[in-house]
Structure 1
Amino acid sequence: MFAYVVAAVFLALFGAGVLRDRRRFSNAVHLGLAVTFLCLGLLAGLQGAPRGVAVTVMVVVLLVLALGPVALAGLLCANGVQMVRKEGVRPANLLSLLAGLGILGVMALMTAAVVSQSKTLAIVVGTLLMVLGYVSFLFLCFVGYAFLYGRMRIRRDADWVVVLGSGLTGGRHVPPLLASRLERGRQVYETLAERREVDRIPVLVTSGGRGPDEELAESHAMADYLVERGFPADRILREDRSRTTEENMLFSKALMEAERPGSECVIVTNNFHAFRAALMARKAGVNGQVVGSPTAAYFWPSATIREFAAVFLEYRAVNLGICLGLVLMGCLAYVLA
């Protein structure tokens, strides 16, 4: 019963947080805690269930705990190899492979601790599992809420559609990843425009400056891409100074405030980047919802890990502090052993 009460409290906090501002990482944590305590309550309730049902559920849970990490590690390693083949050997493309190898490494370390019966190794493994458990919980919260956030309805009262740049190929050409954002931006623009008065038709902002290996600013290549495909040139505003997502937000905000102070916007990026971009928009004071465009399935695991790592470090004081506290607990256990 206690677990259900705690789950209800966190669910209420989640609901209040979403109503206050959808773009808060605390919403993800509250939802994750609500689901966790609900599951604990359901497991505790198995004591009163028929024996056959209880045994079946426990067997399934144990199988998931035992085989789940192995399957996950295999899938991540396979995805990492695919990423390297398709996208090349770069640090960002190795994340899923490294995550898969890391899971296998932890499993090997656990096996060594059991076989060797070493108390020191057991404490090291236990401490590592506590830290990984905390990080994994946050990762699941991030993925779960990002999934929900990406499916929220587009706000109909926005005056702006801001498409974030992501780099050009060959110095001037729009790559498929960026083209996906632009096509999604066009869809959002058309959705907003069909319900607006003539004097309040939205404006689409292409946001992206010129990189060191680019012949022109991303925003100009993005605008040209849209115009060549029939988009009205007079409904495009180009933000051509930004080099990072944070600057995308700040410089686009300045343009929007200069034209229509206090207006709202819909920001378009890729789906794996949407929730983190929403957190950035909130931090920058941009009054906007973020929506995602489709991304190739093989690209998603490494990209999601990268996005989570950036969010984790954004709240480094809390997260690293908790991880350090868990390590100190392990050190204390070693001293007392």
Structure 2
Amino acid sequence: MVFGIAAIVPALFFVIGMIRDRRRLGNAVWLGVTLVLLLLWLVFRASALGGWAAALVGYAIAAVLLGLGFVLPVALIANGVLMLRREGFSPANVLSLLAGLAIVGVVAAFWLATARTGPVVDAVIGSLLVVAAYVAFLFVSLLLYSIVYGSVGRRTGFDAVVVLGAGLIGDRVPPLLASRLDRGVHLYRREVAAGRTPLVVVSGGQGPGEVVSEAAAMREYLLRRGVPDELIVVEDRSTTTEQNLAYSAELLRAREWTGRAVAVTNNFHVFRAAVLARRLRLRMQIIGAPTAWYFLPSAFLREFAALLTHNPIAHTATCGALVALHLVLTLS
């Protein structure tokens, strides 16, 4: 009962945050806290009832632990190998492999902690597990909230469609960027069918190994799909997502444009782009385009790492406080 009542508070903060601005990072944390408290309430409620309810919850917890401890790391390691074979070596492409190995390390640390190797070693291993639990909590919270964010919100009524760039292969639009452009074309055609003439902003500069700017290649892609040249706005200076959003907004303001805008990126990138748009004080919604399934684990891990850098002091202080509390309880 206590946990059920306690869950009401973070749930209220979550609802208020959603109403005020869906792009707030805090919404993901409040969602995670609410779900943790509800899970604790369910476990204690089932234990109190006993019988089949307790057995069912016990089996569910065992299945989750088995999945997290064995199935998940194997799947991540396999995905990491697949990423390296299909996409080549890069720091981003080894993230799922490293995450799988890290989970194996956490499981090994947990096993060592149960072996009672001594108070000092137990305290150190326990501290590592506390940090791992905090990171896992944030990851699951952000993953779930990213799904929530991408599933709600306005889908029509836009006067400008901003397509965020991604890397080219020479001067060719690769599948990842093509999916963004195709979603942008879909939104454009839907607005035209509703009687509007939205601008389409293509945003992306020229990176290493690219023959032309991303925006130039994106413009040619849109022209081949029937988007009128006079409605395409080219932004070819940006090299980061934050610059994509900021420079595109500048071009729209320079045209004395006023209205609703939507930015299109891939589904794994939606929430971080939304957080950046909020930081820039842009009234811009973000919509996701589909991504190849094998690309998602590494891509979302990269997004998660980038989101952590938005509040490094807060995360460091929280981890420090949790570790200090753990050490006080175990060594006192």
The answer to whether 1:304 aligns with 2:281 is no
Counterpart of 1:191? 190
Is the CA contact (8 Å cut-off) linking 2:116 and 2:122 kept in structure 1?
A: no
Report if the CA contact (8 A) 1:257-1:263 is conserved: no
Partner Cα separation in structure 1 for residue 223 and residue 158 of structure 2: 22
**Equivalence map 1:134-283=2 (5 Å):** 134-170=134-170, 172-197=171-196, 201-283=197-279
Work out whether 1:21 is the aligned partner of 2:21: yes
Cα drift, residue 35 of structure 1 = 1.4
- Please tell me the residue identity of whatever aligns with 1:82: L
Structure 2, unpaired ranges of 5+:
none
Cα distance, 1:211 vs structure 2: 1.8
Answer yes or no: is 1:285 the counterpart of 2:281: yes
- Note if contact 2:110-2:129 (Cα within 8 Å) is conserved in structure 1: no
Q: SS at the partner of 1:84?
A: helix
Identify the range of structure 1 (222-231 vs 295-304) with the bigger mean alpha-carbon deviation.
Answer: 222-231
What residue is the counterpart of 1:121 in the other structure? 121
Offset at residue 85 of structure 1 (A): 0.6
Change (3 A) 1:225 1:135: same
Give yes or no for contact 1:95–1:306 (8 Å, CA) kept in 2: yes
Report the CA distance between 1:142 and its aligned residue: 0.5
Tell me how far 1:66 sits from its aligned partner: 4.1
Whole-angstrom distance in 1 between the partners of 2:285 and 2:135: 27
Q: How many residue pairs are counted as aligned between the two chains?
A: 332
Q: Which residue of 2 aligns with 1:56?
A: 56
Residue 314 of structure 1 aligns to a residue whose secondary structure is: coil
Q: How far is 1:132 from its partner?
A: 0.9
- Quick one: percent identity of the two aligned structures? 43
Change (3 A) 1:270 1:305: same
The 1:63/1:175 distance shift into structure 2, 3 A limit, reads: closer
The superposition leaves residues 48-104 of structure 1 with CA deviations (integer Å, 9 ceiling, x where unpaired) of: 425122123223213422443211111111111101111111111111100111111
Alpha-carbon distance, 1:161 to partner: 0.3
The amino acid that maps onto 2:273 is A
Using a 3 Å threshold, how does the CA distance of structure 1 residues 93 and 29 change in structure 2: closer, same or farther? same
Distance 1:67 1:187 in 2: 38
**Cα distance in 1 for residues equivalent to 2:38 and 2:329:** 30
Alpha-carbon distance in structure 1 between the residues aligned to 2:18 and 2:288: 19
Shift of 1:164: 0.4
Matched to 1:55, the amino acid is A
Could you tell me how far 1:328 is from its partner in structure 2? 3.3
Task: Report deviation, 1:261.
Answer: 4.6
Aligned counterparts of 1:173 and 1:296: Cα–Cα separation in 2: 18
Are residues 1:73 and 2:69 paired?
no
Unaligned runs of 5+ in 1: none
CA distance in 2, matches of 1:32, 1:236: 41
**Which letter maps to 1:73?**
P
The answer on whether the counterparts of 1:256 and 1:263 sit within 8 Å (CA) in structure 2 is no
Contact 1:164 1:268 in 2 (8 A): yes
